[in-house]
Structure 1
């Protein structure tokens, strides 16, 4: 898992003491969104992170992300596929099992909707996905990680479908048990992306500003998906509960 950049993904979410300098982008009551300054970042990439605390357990989160059965896969796509135009699982290297439901390694192709469909082309990506449990300073955690890879079997489709291949330098969720609040989880979503589509040798300042503005819209929207996870956990918890009968009321 070290080679799949799981430790780096977790370290990237450190607000203090890490290589990334985080600045508060917005405080939305239950959700904080940060913009990161990574000294090792590639030109053209943007780094954002969303942070919030929710009621829940790691087992509930892992169950929420399960796609072992057809029913689970359909429910996962219904909930998490709002930004997707299409998606294909290309290779499955490690499948979750009843004994290790939180472990997964696979390769996916995904096509994404445009945040501004009239002005911005759709993007796609070929991604290595890895889910893994870990422990950090005595706290149990679980991470979902996505990173771009190049495969000859997954070529760029710009000329065929008009999709611009984005570069994902590491994105995903980090869930940690709260040390001082039993029954609560600290959720973090981090994304370091280059949406591409422009050449920096022939770009004006106004185009760079417009690109940064569109990227900010896209990245903050991704960070706000943490609020969806909070809602999904509540829905699943209610679905598992039993309603009282008239005699019990």
Structure 2
């Protein structure tokens, strides 16, 4: 009988690593991370990159490895936030962190687990670590091809790119005797990574981070080249999800209004942001940050944390796009946000009192 995913806890029985094995995997992971930084250079790098697509700031490029005669893909996307905040989204040093990361950012991931900790992070290097992991993912055309799985050494470490602070996380496929081929047991086809991963670098724009994902892999799919291209494009679409997660984390750091503090929706006839009238196809609701009334397009539901509990709250596009100000060390310098600073007025008379505040809202972020 085929094994169902996700696998039960402690499914793989892995013996302890020897010191020699730890040393070998440390060298392999470090080499893979350094090579990823080198490969991810779109200009004056080792590969010639061709733009495949540009969708609302998400750019996907294709390159060719002359050494192995295989295609590489690279996606880039810029987000507002600090490097520390982005790194925290990708911290997967434990299986619990890995599962949480998959829930938030693993669109294609089906299952994953940490097999070994090869190198733990330290007080001096809190963002550097190396693990051995197993994973299972969906293909872009899952009705045509089986899910894929892989065994890899994951190396995460801080780095410097063109004088800017950065962080790289690379994946390199490895063979482990304790992780057999899973095709007969679960229908999984073993794919290979040759230095795939992510590179995050502080942008030239203050308070922004440039995200790069690089795919150098063999998915073991026999088909036209465009099939591989589409699969990597789907993987790169995770980058804009980082922006959503950063917004949700930012929203969770500041208080939400109570239900009785919101302007009663039935007292407003049009959306406070887009000014379109409410109707059967344009429902109204209140923003739990500023208290104003918006249409469903301008007031989205976000996954946030309130008083330590995971829940959802509706927050308007303006409040959700407010960008926290960061110090040079990357931490929030205050609880204030640059962007929309409107708030609910107790008099509940008109929304005109907050209209001037909307002038501070950077529409660039609402449009993404």
- The two structures share one fold, judged by TM-score above 0.5: yes
Structure 2, gaps ≥5 residues long? 1-25, 262-342, 346-368
Shift of 1:197: 4.9
Give the equivalent residue in structure 2 for 1:19: 46
SS at match of 2:49: strand
Aligned to 2:4: none
Residue 164 (structure 2) aligns with:
139
State the distance in 1 between where 2:94 and 2:193 align.
Answer: 27
Deviations 1:59-82 (CA, angstroms, capped at 9, x unpaired): 111222234678645432311333
Provide the residue aligned with 2:212 in structure 1: 188
Offset of residue 122 of structure 1: 1.4
Aligned counterpart for 2:55 among listed residues 18, 21, 28? 28
- Specify the alignment match of 1:75 in structure 2: 100
Alignment of 1:200-219 (within 5 A): 208-209=223-224, 212-219=225-232
Q: Which has the larger radius of gyration?
A: 2
d(CA) in 2 for partners of 1:226, 1:9 = 17
2-structure distance, mates of 1:68, 1:17: 33
Question: Relative CO higher for 1 or 2, CA cutoff 8 Å, sep ≥ 6?
Answer: 1
In the TM superposition, 1:50-61 aligns within 5 A as 50-61=75-86
Kept in 2: contact 1:129–1:144 (CA 8 A): yes
Q: CA RMSD in A?
A: 2.4
Of 58, 65, 76 in structure 2, the residue corresponding to residue 38 of structure 1 is 65
Greater alpha carbon shift after TM alignment, 91-100 vs 213-222: 91-100
Distance 1:85 1:39 in 2: 32
Question: Is the partner of 1:32 in helix, strand or coil?
Answer: strand
Distance 2:94 2:143 in 1: 37
Q: 2:253 aligns with which of 226, 240, 244?
A: 240
Q: Does 1:117 align with 2:131?
A: no
CA offsets 1:191-243 (integer angstroms, 9 cap, x no match):
11111155xxxxxxxxx42xx23212211001111011111111111111234
Where 1:24 maps in the other structure, the secondary structure is strand
Structure 2 equivalent of residue 10 of structure 1: 37
**Is the Cα–Cα contact under 8 Å of residues 60 and 236 in structure 2 kept in the other structure?**
yes
Aligned position for 2:184: 159
CA deviations on 1:109-165 (whole Å, 9 max, x unpaired) are 111113222211211100110110011232100011111111112121223322111
* Partner SS for 2:117: strand
Matched, 1:231 2:244: yes
The structure-2 alpha-carbon separation of the partners of 1:176 and 1:123, relative to structure 1 and needing over 3 Å to count, comes to same
The match for 2:316 is: none
Q: Are 2:146 and 2:187, in contact at CA under 8 Å, matched by a contact in 1?
A: yes
Does 29-38 or 61-70 show the bigger shift? 61-70
Aligned to 1:150: 175
Scaled by the length of structure 1, what TM-score is found? 0.85
CA contact (8 A) 2:106 2:238 kept: no
Deviates more, 1:130-139 or 1:18-27: 130-139
- 2 CA distance for matches of 1:137 and 1:2? 24
Number of paired residues?
A: 235
Q: Distance in 1 between matches of 2:187 and 2:256?
A: 50
